[in-house]
Each structure stands twice: as structure tokens, then as C-alpha cells.
Amino acid sequence: MKPYKIGYTTGVFDLFHVGHLNILKKAKEQCDYLIVGVSTDELVMSYKKKQPVIPHNERMEIVEGIKYVDKVVPQVHRDKYAAWEQIQFDVMFVGDDWKGSPLFNEVETKFNKAGVELVFFPYTKGVSSTIVKEKLEIV
């Protein structure tokens, strides 16, 4: 029996790599039903100030094709509490590179009051979309 019924995680999922796969696999091991929010191009531009390499609709399709994922939704804002109000998940899974950030400190406080768990998974060392992009520029 898994500890949670409905899990939620989000990401850009640009240049899909093993780090992305690891978080989705670990999340699915913890919940019966996994919902994944994929950041829209507009959202990514608003805080990263750069366009994703892969367009949003294609990133959604890629994530939908992963066997650990039950449902994919667009992530149109970074307000995780508002996402919970809409989706009503029991737990949110996040890479531990976000632990202690102002965004997730606030989310954790709100989730604690609502009885929602926040689980941080270890970040996969040595791989990120940024690293993949840097390697591609070398070629």
C-alpha cells in the first residue's frame, strides 16, 4: 500500500533527462495517482527569462508518455497552493534543490495548515537541462 493517494509535481521538463525520470518514478512509488504540472512557455519566460527549447505542447506529450504519470496538466502559475485548491492532491513532490527557498518555505507553511505533505527528493547530481544545453553548445 502506497502512503499517498494523489500526488502532484511540477516542472519545465525541457530536454527530458534521467533527473526528470527519477523524480517521476520516485513520486509514483509514493502515490496511487500522479498528476504532473508542465510549465507553460509563458510561465518559464516570466521567471527564467528564456524560452524553453521544446515547445509546451510537446513537453506535455513527452511527460504524458511516461509510464509513471497518470495525468498531465499545464502549470500556468507558480502558486502551488492555488494548484492544490484546484486539484486537491495529498502530497506534492519537489526536488531538494528547492528546499529552503522562499517559494517553498511559504508553500510548506500553507500546506501544513491544509494537511498536505511536501516531500523533497534528492536532486539527481550531474544532470540538468542547463547541463544538457551546455554540452550541446560544445558539439
* Residues marked as catalytic: 48, 50
| 8 Å CB contact between 60 and 72 | yes
User: Do residues 62 and 16 lie in contact, with contact meaning Cβ atoms separated by under 8 Å?
Assistant: yes
Q: Measured between alpha carbons, how far is 1 from 41 in angstroms, rounded to an integer?
A: 37
* Furthest CA-CA distance within the chain: 50
Per-residue HEC secondary structure of 53-76 comes to CCCHHHHHHHHHCCCCCCEEEEEC
Phi then psi dihedrals of residue 32, to 5 deg: -75, -35
